[in-house]
Every structure is written in structure tokens, then in C-alpha cells.
Amino acid sequence: MRLLNTLTTRGRLAVAALAVSLVLSGCGEPPIKSRAVYMLMDISGTYTEQLDKAEKIMNYLLATLNTGDSLALARIDSASFNEEDIIVQATFDARPSAANDQKRAFQKQMHDFIASVNGGSAYTDVTGGVMQAVDYLNETEAGEKYLLVFSDLAEDLPEGHIRDFPIDVAGIQVVALNVTKLNRDNIDPRDYQTRLDAWQARVVDGGGEWRVLNDLERMDRLIAMN
């Protein structure tokens, strides 16, 4: 009879354990990761005409990112490895209301900058911008790091600048956005593919992941949704 009473007691304990396990059922799920997104915006030459698209992407990111996530917007100009090229950056506050205010301020600064751009930079230092972005992304210590490169990826460096070395993009997902074709790509389309392949090789060799997203209607594929 004692055994049976023990069984009854165990039954009660099982009910209690079940309740606790229901409460703590979230423990089996993967931990919530913060995200950091750094967008490089090419402002060289005729690419300035594409900046409204960049603004749309940034607006999408502002709407998608949550509290605790980081977002930065930087330009690619003649020498991009420079903090001054970061136009606006923010790590959103833990409180949703404060984060919304930050997003509004971010949007305003970004809009003011894009409106003020007239005439592109003389050169295009993509690698310098990427290195600056890697520094920023690694400093955020976010769980997921994204580097969005809004550019045609054609690098044009001023004389004396050295950029032909491997870059460390370990743990960073690099997404090339709106990679437009140049006039010379039309003459020999292989140039376009060669440019993309070269960048993919640099990113993969540097430990990162490479993607190309030219269809901006598919922005839901841009970053992982929490």
C-alpha cells in the first residue's frame, strides 16, 4: 500500500513537473540573437541616382530591426576606411518606445544626407568601406552580423591606396545589393560575372558568407527575421 501511495505522490509530482516544464518550455529554443546591420552606400558617379532605392532598403531595415539591434549607414567614397564616412549609426534601446524615437531620428539623418548628395565621389574604395564595416560589426558583438553593399562593386582606387590583400569577414554575411551593370559589362558580360566572382572569393576566403540580391522586391530575404 505504501508503494501505491508513493505512486500517487509521484503522480502529483509529475503534474507539478509538467506545469513547470510548460512554463520553461522556451528553454529548449535557441537563444534570441541580436542583429547588427551595416550598409555601405556607393555615392560614386552615376550611382547617386540609385540612392532612393538605398533609402527604401534602409526604411525596410528600420521597420524590421528590433530593440537591441544595431544599424549603421556609411558611404563609399574615394577613401572609405574612415569613421567620417559613417553617416548615421544606432544601437536601438531596450525600451520599444525609445527605440522608435531612435528610428525616427535615424530616418531623418539618413534622409537629410541623401537629399544633400550632389555629384559623386571621384573614386570608389569598396574594400576600405568593407574593412570599416567589419570593425563596426565586430564591435557590436551581435549574434548575427550583416554587411549590405549597395554598389556596382567596381573598385576604383586613388593612386597609392593599397587594397589588394585578404579581408577578414569571419561570421559576417555579406549581401551585395542592386549590383548594376556598367557600360563595359555590356561590351563583355563576363566582366560583370568576374567582378562578382572576385568579391565572392574574397568574402568566402575571409570566412564570410556571400549573397547577391538584385531584386529589391525580395527584401524579406535580406536578413533573418526574429
Partner 1 sequence: MFEQLLMIWSDSAAISAAIWLVLLVTVLYLGRQQAHQLFATLGQAIFNAMRLAAFSVRGLEQRLVQRNRDVLIAQGRIQAEKTIEREFNRVSTLVERDLGAYPKLHRKIADAIEKIETDYQASTQNAPLPPAWSEVVETIAALPTNGDPAMNKILNNIKDAIEESHQQTLKAYQKTTLERHRHLSTMQPQWRTLQSSMDNVKKTLDGLEERTRTIDGQMQRYEAIRKGEDPAINALTSSSITQFLIAGLVLVIATLGGLINFQLIALPMSEMVGATSTIGAMRTSDIAALVIILVEIAMGLFLLESLRITHLFPVIHSMDDRLRRRMIIITLTILSVLATIEASLAYMRDLLALDRSALQQSLAGVAVVEAQFRWIPSIGQMVMGFILPFALAFVAIPLESFIHSLRTVLGLLMVGVLRTLRVTLRLVGSLSRYACQIVTHLYDLIVMVPLGVERLIKARRADHRPEDDWDDAPAMLESKRIRNQSTADV
Q: Which residues bind partner 1 (CB under 8 A)?
A: 1, 3-4, 7-8, 11-12, 15, 23-24, 26-32, 34, 59-60, 62-63, 66-68, 94-97, 100, 103-104, 107
> At 145, which helix (H) or strand (E)?
strand 144-150
Compute the least distance from the CB of residue 56 to partner 1, in Å: 8
Q: What is the secondary structure of 100-146 as a DSSP string?
A: HHHHHHHHHHHHHHHHH--S-BSSB-HHHHHHHHHHHHHHHT-SEEE
CA dihedral 179, 182, 184, 187 (to 10 degrees): 80
Rounded distance between C-alpha atoms, residue 146 and residue 130, angstroms: 11
Compute the least distance from the CB of residue 94 to partner 1, in Å: 3
Q: Which is nearer to partner 1, 69 or 85 (CB)?
A: 69
Q: Are 92 and 106 in contact (CB under 8 A)?
A: no
Compute the least distance from the CB of residue 24 to partner 1, in Å: 8
Q: Which is nearer to partner 1, 32 or 122 (CB)?
A: 32
Q: Which is nearer to partner 1, 82 or 109 (CB)?
A: 109
In one letter, which amino acid is 55? E
> What DSSP designation does 156 have?
B
Q: Which is nearer to partner 1, 101 or 197 (CB)?
A: 101
Compute the least distance from the CB of residue 64 to partner 1, in Å: 10
Q: Which is nearer to partner 1, 150 or 210 (CB)?
A: 150
Compute the least distance from the CB of residue 34 to partner 1, in Å: 7
